Amino acid sequence: MAKRSPQDVLKRVRRIAAVNGWSVAVFAGLSTLFSLLTGAAGGAAVGLMVTLGGVMELRGRRMLGRRLPDGMSWLVRGQWVVLGTVWVYAVSRLASFDPELAMGNMTADMERLLAESGIMMSDVLPLVKIAFYTMYITVLLVTLIYQGGLALYYHSHTAEVTEALRTTPPTVSLTE
């Protein structure tokens, strides 16, 4: 496989930053609004921090379009903000599993359906606990792989992007 030119690396980094930054900012921004509307202050705080990470990535992309190599550090920091926020949230959730609260959310219809199926309430709690821990551990791993991997990708291409910014003539558009 042929090595990519620094200009190609720059275009690719900017394209990835646009897609990821907008995706994170829009999704987290909408989640923040939903949390505010439902009165979930904790969810709103998490959503706001993740939105900030997406906005940081978009700012870094714009900086690269203006030939400012510091944009790469903004791309990396944006990933760390998202990763750190999700990890703090998920770990705090893992540490706060409450069996009574989990079972307290069971409706009368659900309890009736379980009883008709021959399933005892005491059999449900271990399954709920496994699902709870599996979900948050999966969130931790996916975020580590995706955001951590993207931070490493941006960091590892900083020299090439800096070279592209230095050697690309000012008449060439970097705003693609």
The pLDDT tens digits for 123-170 are 888 988 999 999 999 999 999 999 999 999 999 999 999 999 999 776
pLDDT digits (tens, 9 = 90+) for 52-88: 999 999 999 999 999 999 999 999 999 999 999 999 9
| pLDDT tier for residue 20 given thresholds of 50, 70 and 90 | very high
**Residue 103 to residues 40, 42, 49: CA-CA distances in angstroms?**
21, 22, 31
Query: Residue type for 154, please?
Result: Y
Range from 36-40, 94-98, 102-106, 131-135 carrying the lowest mean pLDDT? 102-106
